[in-house]
Amino acid sequence: MKRSNCNLEVRLLPPNTDYSSPQHHHNMMMETGRGSPQEQQQRQQLTIFYNGRICVCDVTELQARAILQLASREMEEKTRTPTASDAISSSLHSQLYSPTGLSMKRSLQRFLQKRKNRMEATSPYHR
Amino acid sequence: MKTEMGMGGGAWTEEDKAMVAAVLGTRAFDYLMTSSVVSENLLMAVGSDENLQTKLSDLVDRPNASNFSWNYAIFWQISQSKSGDWVLGWGDGSCREPREGEESEVTRILNIRLEDATQQRMRKRVLQKLHTLFGGSDEDSYAFGLDRVTDTEMFFLASMYFSFTRGEGGPGKSFGSGKHLWLSDALKSPSDYCVRSFLAKSAGIQTIVLIPTDVGVVELGSVRSLPESLESSKHSRRHRSQ
């Protein structure tokens, strides 16, 4: 497929962005190839980094805008006031980096290693 | 109860909750779901003891002169928030399978079961759910890598996900009161020593000991029914104070 020389760039701004500022409009505008409508319907490669995952796809400009809109809506929803259950799950979620979380990891590693050693010792293939 | 666990692995369906409750016991499930421990501001009250792991392992893996050792040893570590509230969380632990002839005849007979694939699948799924609920990553995911999860292992691994504030659960009560607990007939006892009693009973634990220290609580368990005697007290005290 013939690739055009220009890249499609979309930027997602943090929730406290002032949407009315002229600068915002500039940032939200996507840089696509200037050209005829046919060229604008052309699919271009879009790389999305989101939530620890990478996705590469070919999209039209319209599709890219739709993705951007969906993503920013989701971001807005995530920054709303957390409910009690959010608080519980987020506090549990953060336990990984607490002293308890590290202790758990360490104990788990030792447990799995001990288990592995025991299984290897009793395995019929062990000499 | 309609708590929605929205983060850390997706929302829990009613089926998920029922499965977790079935495997852990309803008391343990309810406790985990309503636990309001906020760990972000917790500070370690003391540094961890490098010898701790060795001591806990010895209590489990090194039989004494009478050829006795505990089936599990857990250290619940104290942490303190800025407001001064303390909470006991998993510090370290060790466990082993019962040796031949160790379990009571009753337990042995009750535990004779053909390899129950459904129960095994459920146990692994529950452990996986707990892992993600507590912020575990996919890389660290271990549950489905286990060939099987024994009763002892289920009790031990599930225990890691518990924490206790003052008066909560066996460890919380022990630390709060400063009193130790020696239970010789946990299987027959109508009262629960902890919200984890269901799992402990499934593992055939007959003797449970809770010993409060300055820095946390030591929990020991055995599938044998042991009276609180001078000798067994000495065994655990010696290991604790070294």
> Residue B12 has which token pair?
């829990």
CB contacts, 8 Å: A91 with chain B: 36-40
- A64 domain residue, yes or no: yes
Are the C-beta atoms of residues B172 and B77 closer than 8 Å to each other?
no
b/e per residue B130-156 (b: at least 16 CB within 10 A): bbbbbbbeeeeebbeebeebbbbbbbb
The answer to whether residue B122 neighbours chain A at the CB level (below 8 Å) is no
The whole-chain average pLDDT of chain B stands at 83
Nearest beta carbon to residue A101 from set B4, B48, B135? B135
- The CA distance from B236 to B200, in Å, is 20
Is the pLDDT score of B122 beyond 70? Answer: yes
**Cα angle for residues B140, B156, B232 (degrees, 5° grid):** 140
- B100 domain residue, yes or no: no
What is each CA distance from B28 to B19, B82, B108, B123, B159, in whole angstroms? 12, 27, 24, 14, 10
ipTM of the complex: 0.83
- B48 domain residue, yes or no: yes
CB contacts, 8 Å: A85 with chain B: 3-6
Our count of domains for chain B comes to 1
* Residue B210: how many other CB atoms lie within 10 Å: 25
Q: What is the pLDDT of residues B157-211, one digit of tens each?
A: 999 999 998 889 999 999 999 999 999 999 888 889 999 999 999 899 999 999 9
- Could you tell me the pLDDT band of residue A10, with boundaries at 50, 70 and 90? low
What is residue B49's predicted lDDT score, i.e. its pLDDT? Answer: 63
Q: For chain B, how big is the Rg over CA atoms in Å?
A: 18
- Could you tell me the pLDDT band of residue B115, with boundaries at 50, 70 and 90? low
Q: Which domain range does residue B162 map to?
A: 14-95+105-241
What is residue B190's predicted lDDT score, i.e. its pLDDT? Answer: 84
- B22 domain residue, yes or no: yes
Q: Which domain range does residue A71 map to?
A: 42-78
Is the pLDDT score of A90 beyond 60? Answer: no
Asked if B5 and A101 come within 8 Å (Cβ–Cβ), the reply is no
Residues 6+ apart with CB under 8 A from B146: A115, B124, B153
Are the C-beta atoms of residues B72 and B56 closer than 8 Å to each other?
no
Asked if B6 and A101 come within 8 Å (Cβ–Cβ), the reply is no
CATH of the domain at B137: 3.30.450.40
- A67 domain residue, yes or no: yes
- B148 domain residue, yes or no: yes
What is residue B241's predicted lDDT score, i.e. its pLDDT? Answer: 53
B216: left (phi over 0), alpha (psi -120 to 50) or beta: left
- Could you tell me the pLDDT band of residue B82, with boundaries at 50, 70 and 90? low
pTM of structure: 0.68
Question: Would you tell me which residues 47-76 of chain B have a C-beta closer than 8 angstroms to some C-beta of chain A?
Answer: 48, 53
